């Protein structure tokens, strides 16, 4: 991944396998036999002659050569550390990391789909992890990775997005003994002094050899799988908020574990598969890959950059039925910060009732419809700034629809819910992530407590 070599101390708690915390923002894939616009699929079997194969750049791949983190300061990122040999009967993308225990003698590898068009959907790569070097002494704090990432626009960037599907430390690092494997979903961070806000899962065991590393991103949950087994379920504010690149790299956390001589470590990737806006089961994803290979298809990529596409139906029946959609024209409005939905307390449509945040439950008290007159309605009444006030701190309430222009709200392309008259945003007061959190008008700042999605 692209962060400094410091241990990633998480503000979010470690998540046990299959534990679902909060529900974050995101559009649930709506299985439909009449997809209006396909979101696309990327499949690459890595049948390239070498790193200089012209098809690599034509297909969006980039090999890193610029200096900088993560890893050992002063280490190099070498194009020659990425190659395309045959391993165990299959052509692969192979990443090499080498160290002699000095920064000058350390080189690392990174291989990426740099065009940031990846967000929700299914990700799967078959990766060969290595517990030991192919040559030299063992014990180095090497990190073998597969992840997606967006740029950090500024420290504590509220829309920064990163999902580490696998960070494998065969010899440990970050103060942990190895072998250990991490899945980490990020909200944001500060590089100096180091501060991290994320949630992670971990497996303190070896995953030496070939493994299917998979994640699904949809409905507010990022679910991580190793060989078809769920190992992490992350949600809430860490749910990604913008498009990302897809990256593989192998790097050294530090040189503290080096035992002498020159050591060379290899990470191999058999294939990469991504179905945008389709949340597939491990069996469905594997079936799709097998179908490509059976047809002799070594590469296909029609993934669109936009996220308003229709993912269409999964290739086979989902293992769980999709949630019934809200009534026609109605939608739940879900916060990227808390994962909860805008709610009428106790489902009592009383004029003057102050709106709140509550666990998303699909009830009529959470079904909002955007009307042609600009009003936002639920249970026959309108969202309203209390007292018709338009200043910062004005509570958001339910009121009789009265034709007053102050009752107009719009959901912008930036996913802020703006009162048209005030030019201010619906904001979760005091950054309260719990049930019963109050809503208010506040200056639009694109912070997570002002960002909403339709669910």
Tens-place pLDDT, residues 82-125: 999 999 999 999 999 999 999 999 999 999 999 999 999 999 99
CATH number, span 41-301: 2.60.120.200
Closest by CA to 70, choosing from 150, 165, 6, is 6
45: left (phi over 0), alpha (psi -120 to 50) or beta: alpha
Mean pLDDT, rounded, for 36-56:
90
Weakest mean pLDDT among 22-31, 317-326, 443-452: 22-31
d(CA 278, CA 216): 8
List C-alpha distances in Å: 80 to 51, 65, 109, 267, 300: 8, 9, 8, 14, 25
Residue of 27 and 77 predicted with greater confidence: 77
Query: pTM here?
Result: 0.67
Report the alpha-carbon angle 210-215-218, nearest 5: 170
pLDDT confidence bin for 168, thresholds 50/70/90: very high
Helices (H), 272-429: 282-294
Measured between alpha carbons, how far is 292 from 312 in angstroms, rounded to an integer?
A: 19
Amino acid 21: pLDDT: 27
pLDDT tens for residues 130-147?
A: 999 999 999 999 999 999
> Do 336 and 425 contact (CB within 8 A), yes or no?
no
Residues contacting residue 282 through CB under 8 Å, at least 6 positions apart: 124, 212, 214, 225, 228
CATH code reported for the domain at 330-454: 2.80.10.50
pLDDT of residue 308: 84
- Least confident range from 126-135, 147-156, 324-333: namely 324-333
Q: What's the per-residue H, E or C state across 262-311?
A: CEEEEEEEEEEEEEECCCCCHHHHHHHHHHHHHCCCCEEECCCCCCCCCC
pLDDT at residue 33 greater than cutoff 70: no
Strands 82-83 and 93-99: antiparallel
Tokens coding 356: 């709140």
Q: Distance between CA atoms of 314 and 280, rounded to whole angstroms?
A: 7
Alpha helices (runs of H) in 35-138, residue ranges in sequence order: 54-58
Between strands 121-129 and 82-83, the pairing is: unpaired
pLDDT of residue 387: 82
In this prediction, residues 268-279 reach a mean pLDDT of: 97
> Taking the CB of residue 390, how many other CB atoms lie within 10 A of it?
14
Q: Per-residue pLDDT averaged across 341-356, rounded? A: 93
pLDDT score, position 280: 97
Select from 75, 79, 53 the least CA-distant residue to 65. Answer: 79
Rounded to an integer, the average pLDDT of 226-245 is 96
Is residue 107 within 8 A of residue 75, CB to CB? The reply is yes
Q: Which of 49-53, 220-224, 353-357, 422-426 has the lowest mean pLDDT?
A: 422-426
pLDDT band, residue 5 (cuts 50/70/90) = very low
**pLDDT value for 213:** 98
- Nearest Cα neighbor of 145 from 276, 278, 251, 14 is 251
Q: Is the pLDDT of residue 8 over 90?
A: no
Query: Which structure tokens are listed for 221?
Result: 């949950």
Q: Looking at per-residue confidence, does 408 or 83 come out higher?
A: 83
Which residues, listed in sequence order, are joined to residue 201 by a DSSP beta bridge?
Answer: 183
13-22, 44-53, 189-198, 266-275: which has the minimum mean pLDDT?
13-22
Which region among 11-20, 282-291, 312-321, 399-408 has the lowest average model confidence (pLDDT)? 11-20
Where in the chain is CATH 2.60.120.200? 41-301
pLDDT at 294 over 90: yes
- For residue 258, pLDDT over 80 is answered with yes
- pLDDT value of position 64: 98
Of 53-67, 272-286, 427-441, which range is least confident? 427-441
pLDDT at 1: 55
Mean pLDDT of 345-357: 93
| Positions of CATH 2.80.10.50 in the chain | 330-454
Q: How does the average pLDDT of the chain come out, rounded?
A: 87
């Amino acid at each position: 991944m692209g962060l400094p070599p410091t241990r990633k101390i998480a503000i979010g708690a470690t998540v046990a396998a299959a534990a679902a915390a909060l529900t974050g923002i995101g559009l649930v894939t709506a299985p439909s036999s009449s997809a209006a616009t396909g979101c696309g699929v990327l499949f690459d079997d890595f049948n390239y002659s070498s790193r200089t194969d012209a098809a690599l750049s034509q297909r969006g791949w980039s090999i890193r050569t610029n200096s900088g983190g993560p890893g050992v300061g002063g280490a190099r990122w070498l194009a020659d550390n990425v190659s395309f040999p045959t391993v165990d009967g299959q052509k692969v993308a192979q990443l090499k990391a080498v160290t002699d225990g000095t920064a000058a003698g350390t080189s690392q590898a990174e291989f990426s789909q740099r065009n940031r068009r990846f967000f929700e959907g299914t990700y799967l790569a078959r990766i060969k992890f290595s517990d030991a070097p192919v040559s030299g002494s063992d014990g180095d704090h090497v990190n073998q990775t597969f992840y997606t990432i967006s740029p950090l626009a500024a420290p504590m960037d509220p829309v920064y997005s990163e999902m580490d599907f696998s960070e494998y430390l065969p010899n440990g690092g970050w103060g942990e003994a190895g072998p250990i494997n991490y899945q980490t979903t990020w909200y944001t961070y500060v590089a100096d002094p180091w501060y991290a806000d994320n949630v992670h899962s971990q497996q303190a065991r070896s995953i030496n050899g070939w493994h299917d590393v998979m994640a699904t991103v949809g409905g507010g949950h990022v679910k991580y799988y190793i060989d078809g087994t769920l190992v992490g379920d992350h949600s809430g504010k860490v749910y990604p908020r913008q498009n990302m690149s897809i990256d593989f790299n192998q790097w050294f956390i530090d040189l503290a574990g080096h035992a002498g001589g020159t050591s060379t470590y290899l990470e191999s990737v058999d294939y990469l598969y991504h179905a945008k806006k389709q949340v597939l089961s491990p069996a469905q994803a594997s079936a799709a890959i097998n179908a490509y290979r059976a047809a002799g298809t070594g590469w296909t990529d029609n993934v669109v950059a936009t996220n308003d596409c229709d993912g269409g139906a999964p290739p086979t029946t989902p293992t769980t039925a999709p949630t019934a959609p809200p009534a026609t024209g109605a939608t739940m409005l879900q916060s990227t910060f808390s994962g909860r939905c805008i709610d009428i307390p106790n489902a009592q449509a009383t004029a003057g009732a102050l709106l709140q945040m509550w666990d998303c439950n699909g009830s009529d008290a959470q079904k909002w419809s955007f009307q042609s007159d600009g009003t936002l309605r639920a249970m026959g009444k309108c969202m309203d700034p209390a007292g018709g006030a338009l200043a910062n701190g004005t509570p958001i309430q339910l009121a009789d629809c009265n034709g007053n222009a102050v009752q107009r709200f719009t959901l912008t392309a930036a996913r802020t819910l703006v009162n048209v008259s005030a030019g201010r945003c619906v904001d979760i007061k005091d950054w309260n992530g719990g049930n019963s959190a109050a809503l208010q008008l506040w200056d639009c700042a694109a912070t997570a407590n002002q960002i909403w999605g339709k669910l």
